[in-house]
Amino acid sequence: MNIADKIQETQDLLSTHSEWKDRYKVYAENLIANIDVIKSNRNRFNEFPPLYFYISTTNAKNAKTKLLLDIRYRGQSVATLKVNQNDITISTKKQADKNLRDFNCDIKLNDISWREKQVSEFRKFFKYRDNSRNDNDKNKNNEEHNVESLLLSEFSKKKSNSKQIKGIQPVKMCGNRFGMPTPIGASDHNELKYAKQYGGGIDIFARTGKGRATYLTVIEVKDEYNPKEPPKDALIQAIQYAVFIRELLRSDCGENWYKIFGFSGAIPKKLKLRAVCAMPLPDNNVVNVDKSFEKQTYQIGCDEIECHYIYFKYDGRQLYDFQTSL
């Protein structure tokens, strides 16, 4: 099946199952209603790399009375932050076992105040820890989460002279990292499924470009170069998610989502979305990596999807030597 067929297949799937339209309409209304409360609560404390805040659609929806943020290290949840009118507390109840197993962290926090000394020790522990995980890990997904997290940090930089790729900013929810959900499962490259609220999340959702030429960009991340799963497979997955974003923006609640994604104007008549595969290349430079799809475009009605790649080197700790068509 070629890419145009994959796009058509995704569109057909989304029009056959229209359940998502109402659901995403309600999500958008809830998110917009809570933006002020999330922002004002979020302003009460700083982020502390290499720990980062993540918010889910569910927590954003319930933020009115209590804001819950997931604190992640290398993309893995290590604590939960609770913010309400009276206090800011942090807990590792759910994560303590894995914190010890994966990172040798034995600091347990039991819903204690954010300003306690123990909490600053918890932050310090991760700040001065070598950016790696213990070897007993059976779950390979974690490497992908780390690459994803490192890419997000890289893309979030504001000073252009320290950025590997200029003109890119992740879509965030009031300053928090945010996994954009979709109602489709595209992770099995053989079969696309409609998955209701259990669909795949977009690995990295960003705005790329400058000025008027700023486009929403779906980035599918892989943690290694695997000939059995070539860049084009990851690209197709990104395209399928981009088709969903296109359908979402062209639905009743599209204008709301466009605002949530960081734009202040109206949705352009001709909307351009970008789909990107991002993956590390092997060290030995032996692989003649596929760039054939660079800047290829596919029409969906008046709109279009443009294909790109981001390749880089990854040594298990950091990313370097970026190459991109963006």
CA distance 133 to 257: 36
Specify whether the CB–CB gap between 307 and 293 falls below 8 A: yes
Number of neighbours of residue 16 by Cβ within 10 angstroms: 8
By beta-carbon proximity to DNA, the closer residue of 177 and 222 is 177
User: In angstroms, rounded to a whole number, what is the distance separating the alpha carbons of residues 10 and 275?
Assistant: 14
Nearer to DNA, 18 or 120 (CB): 120
**Contacting residues toward DNA, per CB under 7 A:** 39, 42-49, 114-115, 120, 123-124, 127, 158-161, 163, 166-169, 175, 207, 209-214, 262-266, 268-270, 272
Nearer to DNA among residue 13 and residue 245 (C-beta): 245
DSSP designation for 243: H
Q: Which is nearer to DNA, 8 or 325 (CB)?
A: 325
Please, what is the minimum distance in Å from the beta carbon of residue 207 to DNA?
A: 4
In the bound state with DNA, the residue whose beta carbon lies nearer, of 39 and 232, is 39
Closest contact distance (angstroms) between CB of 118 and DNA is 11
CB of 141 to DNA, least distance (A): 26
Strand partners, 278: 221, 310
- Give the H or E element holding residue 89: strand 88-91
Q: In the bound complex, what is the minimum distance in angstroms from residue 214's beta carbon to DNA?
A: 4
Neighbours of 99 (CB within 10 A): 24
| CB 121 to DNA: min, Å | 9
Q: Report helix, strand and coil shares of the chain as percent, to nearest 5.
A: 35, 25, 40
